[in-house]
Amino acid sequence: MMSDSKVYVSNATNPLKKVMMCSPQHYTFNDINVITAEWMKKGDQEKNEVMVAEWRTLVDAYKAHGIEVVEVDPDPAFQVMTFARDYGCMVREGAVIGHFRHPVRQVEAAAYEAKLKEMGVPIVARVNAGCMEGGDFWMIDDHTLAFGQVDRTDQAGVDNLRDQLEKFGYTVVGVPCPPDNLHLDMVFNIVAPQVALACIEQLPYNFLQMLRRRNFELIPVASQDVFKHGCNVQCIGGGKVVAIEKNKHINDKMRALGLEVIDVPLDQILHAGGGPHCLTQPIERP
């Protein structure tokens, strides 16, 4: 047993205590994802002050529910720095540092890692072969870690983490999906114990079977809602989910199951290619 027995993140649904986030103050549109590329073709621009105002509503929603928000200073040198989820992920034992696929994002990792160090969070694994981004990561249960192999996480990254995380008793599962979906959190999102939003036609048969064996209830999300970030919500525990106001029909499905949905008015920030889940890195969820 390690001497530091502090539990950081034990699953996807316990009450969230502490998160790390980064303002989109200096965000620059970049065509590294399908969503932003489409908006750029239409002549859309960042509108940073709008993005920051929307982001603040998410920060305020977390604080209103007793969640500590640790902010990483945005750096004008890092064009696409706001999606704090993606530098890596958290497990019970501490932080896993991933590896960004695109060079324009690789520069962000050091700032996030410095903040982890400042908070005293141990780094228990590090991708040193292939790529892994945190938007692809899900704790399916106490022992099963799923990594989407979509556009940003590859086989080498998954294999590399399997080798490193085995000693903690984790089973690592790869989930291949069509690359336009960007990250697994765009087509799959755990919103309560054994309840998930899922774009079923974008997910592989083996993964769906694995969820069924674990008695998951899947709330279906249509493919056309993926790029509206229909799946991209953040469970904060206690039956509460932070979701995008505009996706009313999906939010109503969650409410019908007895979940409390906290609406945030994100819109411009979605043009950058991410929603509440992408903007949030859980640090403490014991």
- Give residue limits of the domains in the chain: 18-284
Q: Residue 84, CB half-sphere, CA atoms under 13 Å: how many? A: 26
DSSP 31-85: TTSHHHHHHHHTT----HHHHHHHHHHHHHHHHHTT-EEEEEPP-TT-TTTT-GG
pLDDT band at 36 (very low <50, low <70, confident <90, very high): low
Model pLDDT, residue 44: 58
Pairing state between β 260-264 and 240-244: parallel
- Of all residues in the chain, what percent carry a pLDDT higher than 90? 84
CA-to-CA distance for 248 and 246, rounded, in angstroms? 5
Indicate left, alpha or beta for 94 from its phi (over 0: left) and psi (-120 to 50: alpha).
Answer: left
Amino acid symbol at 196 = A
- For 178-225, how does the pLDDT look when each residue is reduced to its tens digit (9 = 90+)? 999 999 999 999 999 999 999 999 999 999 999 999 999 999 999 999
Percent helix, strand and coil across the chain, each to the nearest 5: 35, 25, 40
Q: Which residues contact 176 (CB under 8 A, 6 or more apart)?
A: 148, 149, 150, 204
Q: Are 235 and 190 in contact (CB under 8 A)?
A: yes
> Any idea what the Cα angle at residue 111 is, between residues 108 and 114, rounded to 5°?
145
From the list 22, 18, 153, the residue with the least C-alpha distance to 83 is 22
Q: What is the mean pLDDT of residues 109-132?
A: 98
263 bridge partner residues: 243
Q: Which residue has the higher pLDDT, 104 or 178?
A: 178
Task: Look at residue 1 in the predicted model and tell me its pLDDT.
Answer: 45
Range scoring the smallest mean pLDDT among 118-122, 137-141, 265-269? 265-269
Mark out the alpha helices in 65-154 (DSSP H runs): 103-106, 109-119
Question: Residue 32's pLDDT is what?
Answer: 61
pLDDT of residue 78: 87
Task: Classify residue 41 by burial, with Cβ atoms within 10 Å: 0-12, 13-18, 19+.
Answer: exposed
CATH code for the part of the protein at 18-284: 3.75.10.10
